[in-house]
Chain A
Amino acid sequence: MYRYDAIDRQLINERVDQFRDQVRRWQAGELTDDEFRPLRLQNGLYIQRHAPMFRIAVPYGMMNAAQLRQLAQVARKYDRGYGHFTTRHNLQLNWPKVTDVPDILAELAEVDMHAIQTSGNCLRNITTDQFAGVAADEIIDPRPLAEILRQWTTFHPEFAFLPRKFKIAISGTKEDRAVTWFHDIGLHLKVVDGVVGFTVIVGGGLGRTPIRGQVVRDFLPWQHILGYCEAILRVYNRFGRRDNAYKARIKILVQALGVEEFSKLVEAEWAHLKDGPATITQAEYDRVAAHFTAPAYTPDAAVGAGFTAKMAAEKAFARWVDRNTHAHKVPGYAAVTLSLKQHGIAPGDITSDQMDSVADLADRYSFGELRISHEQNIILADVRQSDLYEVWQQAKAAGLATPNIGLLTGIICCPGGDFCDLANAKSIPIANAIQQRFDDLDYLFDIGEIDLNISGCMNACGHHHVGHIGVLGVDKNNDEFYQVTLGGRQGNEAKLGKVIGPSFSAGEMPDVVEKIIQVYLENRHPDERFLDTLDRIGIDPFKNRVYEGRAHGKAKTAAKEAA
């Protein structure tokens, strides 16, 4: 992975000094709360329901064991011994003191970590595929360009006060695993006539107004990506709405202008910037790419007789291998997903002790590196198949081997009303209640692949719109209710789920999910996944079952009137 050099380190150290000074002046009354707010937000610091919430960046999801140990240490020292991995390659602490944050930043800087631009109306953390560099279906490794983009976004002077937040995702695989269709800028790496470049997608996003992004340029040679992003950001910075925060994302501008007119503005701006100093040099690409070379894979890593025998003998191990390992481009290796979706624990939460265990596993079995996925799990990307059994046993002992990746209980979930000030409703208890209902592993495996996503409000941090089953917390007369969508999905065919009808109380949610699952099980053809059956039969059978016996719409009004 990328190792900081003198300049990278100097800049994050200067950032620590800057923020320490800002906190000092805020405490001394020299900075008002309003003046301090954007400054702390651009260092990942929110003031939240119970305490500040502090968001640490894991740029494009890559981390080494030493960094994770430092996160464990920070969470122990300044928080309550745990953290929460978000859907955008960040670790959140829920209980730090504002006045401790400069010290936390200093300790993070010791291991080349920071919280730069993890919130606020600025260029945010770059995200990518958690299997970058090892995926069997990879076309181009996105990490060198992700790092070059990270540097470009860091302290960009022109775009520090945008109309609203701005998120860039980059994918280099056939199957998009970076939700690129739902980012402000989504970048697909591809090769056309032997030239490496990007398809540039703009104006996607979830949140209050979920919109799929649109292609602004079908092919842009890789050298030009900084200049082209600069052109997009310039158009957005000038013309994006600033009168209404709900209409300020670039997706609204793209919708208002139409993608053709928007593209014209970008191309006109780009004409001035093309081939300028921002053009990436081959030397710079090679310098950065040299940090992402393949580790020293061994040829004897392939499946041994022991592995096959253990798979046959231990069903639990076989299940874990089935769900929690992913194809690797090097024969004999696998990418292991450590599940942060243990039943009964808030999805994405991890204790400091578990972080230490993961760091040990990474050191022992995966070249000392790991990744964070947008599904809120941890990946050991380079594990020898002959080591899988040991990894499984140790992960199991640490509570990190729940075999539910891609299954119903591998829920993606935001912190929700238990922690977040924006939330309309709690999300973690809903996730836990559903996990409890589907706690039987045979049943869970029989149900098969299904994405369940829960967000506590329309800001959609739990990406509910792209869940096969999406759950959205809503506020109805100060009571918490949950709206259900079906048919959303990420990937190349990414689309938004459809709302099935009126919302439900928290207590009803496990039953609602169970009814949806029953309809699927009754109707599925052999080898059909949930989504296949849903696409074939449509949402009506699901709706009818869920609302069976429930007065709603006209019937509900009539019932009310009768009463």
Chain B
Amino acid sequence: MSQLIKQAAITVDTWKTLETGPEEAAETIALPAGDVIFPLAVWLARKNEIISCHKRIGLLLQPDERVEDVADDLDYFVVIAVNFPKFVDGRGYTTASLLRQRYHYQGELRAVGDILHDQLYYLKRVGFDAWALKDGKNPDYAVSAGFTTFSDAYQASTDQPEPYFRRRA
């Protein structure tokens, strides 16, 4: 169970992520009840069904899955989790940037997978507001030191849409 950081605190994760095994098809897999984060394929195949029986819906995006494919659905999601299978795979940073900056997604944006202390600052900048810190890593230190590495930034991003040069006195 990974440690979820939200609003500068370690919190209990109330969401379950639907895992699809190699034998299971998105079209036929059983949909569990409760707060569930659905893989993109399941969402795309079972959208109406999910909407009809879930009040709160979560979506899981893999690095190679395109934000454009859910651009019209974003209002349905309370949580979008972006998976980082390895922390050096940086595609999720663009996924987050597009969700926030282009499609103005307002819900929770959660970084999951290989989430480590030293990437938290950049993840926050591109628009994540929840982090499932990898097991075995120190969540207290992450909360106290992981998000304040730099006091300001040159370039525009989600958390600061104006580049520094536009904010100079």
In the complex formed, the residue of A with least CB distance to B123 is A157
Residues A154 and B154 in contact, CB atoms below 8 Å apart: yes
Tell me the complex Cα distance, A237–B87, Å.
Answer: 14
A155 to chain B, nearest CB (A): 6
Residues A151 and B166 in contact, CB atoms below 8 Å apart: no
Residues A159 and B166 in contact, CB atoms below 8 Å apart: no
Contacts of A18 in B (CB 8 A): 149-150
Tell me the complex Cα distance, A226–B164, Å.
Answer: 13
Residues B151 and A10 in contact, CB atoms below 8 Å apart: yes
Contacts of A38 in B (CB 8 A): 87-88
Contacts of B102 in A (CB 8 A): 272
A54 to chain B, nearest CB (A): 19
- Chain B stretch 125-158: residues in CB contact (< 8 A) with chain A: 125-126, 137-138, 145, 149-157
Residues B164 and A151 in contact, CB atoms below 8 Å apart: yes
Contacts of A154 in B (CB 8 A): 154
Determine if A110 is an interface residue (Cβ-Cβ < 8 Å). no
The answer, among A7, A155, A161, A281, for a CB contact under 8 Å with B93, is A161
- Chain A stretch 2-59: residues in CB contact (< 8 A) with chain B: 7, 10-11, 14-15, 18, 21-22, 25, 30-31, 35, 38-39
The answer, among A155, A277, A280, for a CB contact under 8 Å with B154, is A155
Instruction: Say yes or no: A158-B150 contact (C-beta < 8 A), given A39-B118, A277-B166.
Output: no
Contacts of B125 in A (CB 8 A): 157
In the complex formed, the residue of A with least CB distance to B98 is A234
Residues B88 and A161 in contact, CB atoms below 8 Å apart: yes
B96 to chain A, nearest CB (A): 8
In the complex formed, the residue of B with least CB distance to A160 is B122
Tell me the complex Cα distance, A280–B162, Å.
Answer: 11
Most A CB contacts (10 A, CB to CB) among B117, B119, B122, B165 go to B165
Tell me the complex Cα distance, A38–B121, Å.
Answer: 15
Instruction: Say yes or no: A281-B157 contact (C-beta < 8 A), given A14-B151, A35-B118, A157-B126.
Output: no
The answer, among A14, A156, A234, A242, for a CB contact under 8 Å with B89, is A242
Residues B118 and A159 in contact, CB atoms below 8 Å apart: no
Instruction: Say yes or no: A156-B155 contact (C-beta < 8 A), given A162-B90, A277-B161.
Output: yes
B34 to chain A, nearest CB (A): 33
Tell me the complex Cα distance, A271–B152, Å.
Answer: 28
Residues A159 and B90 in contact, CB atoms below 8 Å apart: yes
Contacts of B153 in A (CB 8 A): 155, 157
- Chain A stretch 59-102: residues in CB contact (< 8 A) with chain B: none
Residues B90 and A237 in contact, CB atoms below 8 Å apart: yes
Tell me the complex Cα distance, A388–B61, Å.
Answer: 64
Contacts of B162 in A (CB 8 A): 277
Determine if A390 is an interface residue (Cβ-Cβ < 8 Å). no
Determine if A152 is an interface residue (Cβ-Cβ < 8 Å). yes
B121 to chain A, nearest CB (A): 8
Contacts of B90 in A (CB 8 A): 121, 158-162, 237
In the complex formed, the residue of A with least CB distance to B63 is A242
Determine if A311 is an interface residue (Cβ-Cβ < 8 Å). no
Contacts of B97 in A (CB 8 A): 158, 234
B27 to chain A, nearest CB (A): 27
- Chain A stretch 282-302: residues in CB contact (< 8 A) with chain B: 283-284, 287
Contacts of B89 in A (CB 8 A): 161, 242
Determine if A238 is an interface residue (Cβ-Cβ < 8 Å). yes
6 nearest CB pairs, A to B = A161-B90, A157-B125, A284-B165, A157-B122, A151-B154, A158-B93
| A–B complex contacts, Cβ < 8 Å, 26 sampled | A10-B151, A14-B149, A14-B150, A14-B151, A35-B118, A38-B87, A151-B154, A151-B155, A151-B165, A155-B154, A157-B93, A157-B153, A158-B94, A158-B97, A158-B157, A159-B90, A160-B119, A160-B122, A161-B88, A161-B93, A234-B97, A237-B90, A238-B91, A278-B155, A284-B165, A284-B168
18 additional A-B pairs beyond A35-B87, A234-B97, beta carbons within 8 Å, are A14-B151, A18-B150, A25-B117, A151-B164, A152-B154, A155-B122, A155-B150, A157-B153, A157-B157, A158-B126, A160-B93, A162-B90, A237-B90, A238-B91, A242-B89, A277-B161, A277-B163, A281-B166
